[in-house]
């Protein structure tokens, strides 16, 4: 298997922004190898899933690992002169790193925090944008995006907008190419949604899920399976592996009028990967990647996965 750096050599090419993004991915990979070690073998004095006593800008109570991962990611990016700004789920505003930087890195340093104590996969999500267009720009501008999953394997899905590359962490602390031609199956019989919110859903979402649940007795004339991990990266990795549709829609709960997931550092990077793999990613009206973020922590309804199934969901929209 070829090393991450070898696979990325061909990408760096003569495009200075892509070369800067390659340097960033390499720096993130080193930090993620350390985060993976911390998760797998936590030092006795740090309860990673314990409340840190603080909350982030989105009002989420920060777990110790949220704060630690954010520090480790920011420290890694400080070593990359091309990174002008760091945007983080765990920090209120943009963090200036290098005045002469040409790229912006947005990150969810630890995705799936509620799962830390349950030994379920969590991850680190990142989005790399040109600095020239400022912190709030449509996801279609991304130079590169990806996410790491800390699971039975520690893995990385990465794209520069064309194909998707998949890597796994080896015992030597290095990432190696999995030689997986990543494409999302256009058709699926599996949906992912937090069904406990059913009474809060808008009527189109409720009708779509009801028809999936009706199986062979209903209009879909086939049975569906359901999965919900509660870590976006884990649900997303499964969808890249075997297809599926993920839905975190807006719902009637206070604060969930635009769902739960954040556009800049969760939906945009995942949507960039999904479209590169032949899938679709929408907010219920149009492509995620065409939305201009109104603020750093803005939320967005997020439906993505197998293209035919996302199209089917859109047929239920009013």
Q: Kindly state whether residue 275 participates in binding Mn ion, applying the rule CB under 5 A.
A: no
Tokens representing 161 are 């907008």
Q: Kindly state whether residue 108 participates in binding Mn ion, applying the rule CB under 5 A.
A: yes
CA 207 to CA 210: how far, in whole Å? 5
Q: Whole-number minimum distance, CB 89 to ligand AHG, in Å?
A: 6
* Pick 7 or 188: Cβ nearer ligand AHG: 188
Q: For residues 211-225, b (16+ Cβ closer than 10 Å) or e, as one string?
A: bbeeeeeeebeeebe
98, 81 Cβ separation under 8 angstroms: yes
Q: Kindly state whether residue 18 participates in binding ligand AHG, applying the rule CB under 6 A.
A: no
DSSP H stretches of helix in the chain: 4-12, 16-40, 64-78, 203-214, 232-242, 268-276, 307-314
Among 18, 21, 102, 111, binds Mn ion (CB under 5 A): 111
Q: Kindly state whether residue 70 participates in binding Mn ion, applying the rule CB under 5 A.
A: no
Residues 217-276 close enough to bind ligand AHG by CB under 6 A: 230-232, 260
Q: Kindly state whether residue 91 participates in binding ligand AHG, applying the rule CB under 6 A.
A: no
229, 112 Cβ separation under 8 angstroms: yes
In the sheet that holds 154-159, the strands lie side by side as: 95-96, 83-88, 103-111, 122-130, 144-150, 154-159, 164-169, 175-177
205, 248 Cβ separation under 8 angstroms: no
Q: Which does 293 bind (CB under 5 to 8 A by kind): ligand AHG, Mn ion, none?
A: none
Q: Kindly state whether residue 60 participates in binding ligand AHG, applying the rule CB under 6 A.
A: yes
Contact letters for Mn ion, residues 30-69 (x by CB under 5 A): ----------------------------------------
Q: Kindly state whether residue 101 participates in binding ligand AHG, applying the rule CB under 6 A.
A: no
Q: Whole-number minimum distance, CB 114 to Mn ion, in Å?
A: 10
Q: Which residues, at least 6 apart from 173, have a Cβ–Cβ distance to it below 8 Å?
A: 33, 37
Catalytic residues: 60, 66, 89-90, 108, 110-111, 266
Q: Which does 283 bind (CB under 5 to 8 A by kind): ligand AHG, Mn ion, none?
A: none
Contacts with Mn ion by CB under 5 A lie at 89, 108, 110-111
Contacts with ligand AHG by CB under 6 A lie at 60, 89, 108, 111-114, 194, 230-232, 260
């Amino acid at each position: 298997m070829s090393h991450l750096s070898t696979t990325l050599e061909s990408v760096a090419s003569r495009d200075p922004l892509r070369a800067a993004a390659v340097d960033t991915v390499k720096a993130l990979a080193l930090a993620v190898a350390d985060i993976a070690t911390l998760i797998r073998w936590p030092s006795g004095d740090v309860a990673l899933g314990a409340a840190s006593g603080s909350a982030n800008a989105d009002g989420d109570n920060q777990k110790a690992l949220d704060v630690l991962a954010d520090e480790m990611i920011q420290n890694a990016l400080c070593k990359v002169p091309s990174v002008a700004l760091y945007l983080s789920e765990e920090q209120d505003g943009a963090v200036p790193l290098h005045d002469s930087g040409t790229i912006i890195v947005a990150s969810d340093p630890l995705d799936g925090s509620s799962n830390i104590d349950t030994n379920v996969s969590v991850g680190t999500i990142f989005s790399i944008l040109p600095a020239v267009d400022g912190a709030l720009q449509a996801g279609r501008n991304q130079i590169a995006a990806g996410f790491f999953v800390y699971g039975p394997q520690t893995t990385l899905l990465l794209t520069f907008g064309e194909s998707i590359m998949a890597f796994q962490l080896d015992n030597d602390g290095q990432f190696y190419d999995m030689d997986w031609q990543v494409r999302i199956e256009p058709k699926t019989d599996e949906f992912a949604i937090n069904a406990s919110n059913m009474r809060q859903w808008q009527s189109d979402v409720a009708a779509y899920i009801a028809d999936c649940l009706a199986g062979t007795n209903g209009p879909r004339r086939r049975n569906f399976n359901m999965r919900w991990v509660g870590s976006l990266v884990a649900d997303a990795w499964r969808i890249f592996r075997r297809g599926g549709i993920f839905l975190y829609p807006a719902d009637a709960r206070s604060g969930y009028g635009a769902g739960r997931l954040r556009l800049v550092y969760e939906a945009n990077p995942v949507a960039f990967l999904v479209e590169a793999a032949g899938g679709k990613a929408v907010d219920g009206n149009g492509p995620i990647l065409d939305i201009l973020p109104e603020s750093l922590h803005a939320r967005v309804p997020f439906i993505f996965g197998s293209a035919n199934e996302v199209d089917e969901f859109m047929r239920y929209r009013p």
